[in-house]
Structure 1
């Protein structure tokens, strides 16, 4: 499991023009079963994704396809996490 942090970068002003493409990229990640949750970093700092992936390289390749990443709107940080304790409502994430 991974947390992906997309923090606004140098070309942040391009975000509006690329939002539809970024949202389509997010939809592909959810449809593929790779993304479990996405949302905004507050206050107005970028975004975050919880990804369920067994292959870090595949996740890195997917993140590189994000138009926000490709155009320098955000920088991506990928952090692996090995759940040690999980609320029963989210037990499917620890599988």
Structure 2
């Protein structure tokens, strides 16, 4: 499993211009079953994505993000093993 931290490199006006395309990209990644959760940071300096897939698939999806294509964000990827989860999230546990 991966936690991806996006950090914006451009003014929020540019992020806002790309936002609709970014949301469509997110929806496609959810439809593929790659993303588990996502949302903006508070304060709005970037976002967080939780993904469950191979690193190769994740890297390909991140490269297709409109923010990445426009050079508007950097991505910090951290892999971890979900050994414990809250009730109802057992499907995300890793051996």
**Could you state the TM-score of these two structures normalised by the residue count of structure 2?**
0.89
Which stretch shows the higher mean deviation, 20-29 or 6-15? 6-15
Counting only pairs closer than 5 Å after superposition, residues 12-23 of structure 1 correspond to structure 2 as: 12-23=12-23
Q: What stretches of structure 1 move > 2 A for 4+ residues in a row?
A: 10-13
Match of 2:90 in 1: 91
Secondary structure, in 3 states, of the residue corresponding to 2:89? helix
Unaligned runs of 5+ in 1: none
Bigger relative CO (Cα 8 Å, ≥ 6 apart) = 1
Which stretch shows the higher mean deviation, 27-36 or 4-13? 4-13
- Displacement of 1:12: 4.5
Secondary structure, in 3 states, of the residue corresponding to 2:82? coil
Match of 1:44 in 2: 44
Separation in 1 of the partners of 2:89 and 2:39?
17
Residues 49-72 of structure 1: CA deviation (Å, up to 9, x unaligned): 11011x101110100100011112
Note the aligned Cα RMSD (angstroms).
1.4
